[in-house]
Amino acid sequence: MKNKIIYVLRHGQTDYNKNGMVQGRGVDASLNETGISQTNLVYDALKDVPFDVIFTSSLKRTHETISPFIENGLGLNHISLGGLDEISWGDREGIKTNLEAKNHYVMIINGWRSGNLSLRAGGGETPMEVMKRQQAAFKQIINFPGNKILVCMHGRAMRVLFCWLLNYPLNYMDGFPHQNCAYYKLIYRDNDFFIDEFNQIGHLNS
């Protein structure tokens, strides 16, 4: 199999992001004005990359993020995969930020960091469950015949993804920072993944 270059992009900002609210798989929010501006900045940064295809999650914030690549006549295929969706935070999704909600979130994250990957927030998903559906989705991505691929997905899901792709334990996931419309560039070679560009955000400051 030929080498592949895969850009993994986080979606643009939504009002949930702006207001610090939990936004998981069950919240299908649109981008806000800042998020739309971010999509144009990342398009300008990556428009000269000859992508063969774009994969996104099933959620509209990822679809809206890659819309400039579709609308500017690049003729790209867009394939939506539910396996790339954000982690489910269960009944914690979409609630207003308060002290109890923050404390619960911190408890879950600290538990994951300590290796307790069976924890789930509000009846949502565990990192292991997210990894399993991502593995099925990435099998389709790797088997796609194109060699330059854009993937648009979600922050916590990206952290899970990079751990298993790069052979790190899942409790290392917070070692992969991200911002809205930040991207990583991965190289796939000889059945292994390597990071070529780490958490690129310079285009967001232009």
CB count in 10 Å sphere of residue 103: 10
The Cα 197–Cα 181 span in angstroms is 14
Q: Is the pLDDT of residue 206 over 70?
A: no
Q: What are the tens digits of pLDDT across the range 137-188?
A: 999 999 999 899 999 999 999 999 999 999 999 999 999 999 999 999 999 9
d(CA 165, CA 130): 13
> H helices within the chain, ranges in order?
15-18, 33-46, 60-65, 67-71, 99-113, 127-143, 155-165
Is pLDDT above 60 for 1? no
In this predicted model, what pLDDT tens digit does every residue of 16-58 receive, in sequence order? 999 988 899 999 999 999 999 999 999 999 999 999 999 999 9
Residue 94's pLDDT band, with cuts at 50, 70 and 90, is: confident
pLDDT of residue 81: 98
Q: Within its chain, how far is the Cα of 15 from the centroid?
A: 17
User: Domains in the chain, please, with CATH?
Assistant: 4-205 (3.40.50.1240)
For 49-80, what is each residue's pLDDT tens digit? Answer: 999 999 999 999 999 999 999 988 667 889 99
| Alpha-carbon gap, residue 104 to 102, rounded angstroms | 5
Average pLDDT, the chain: 94
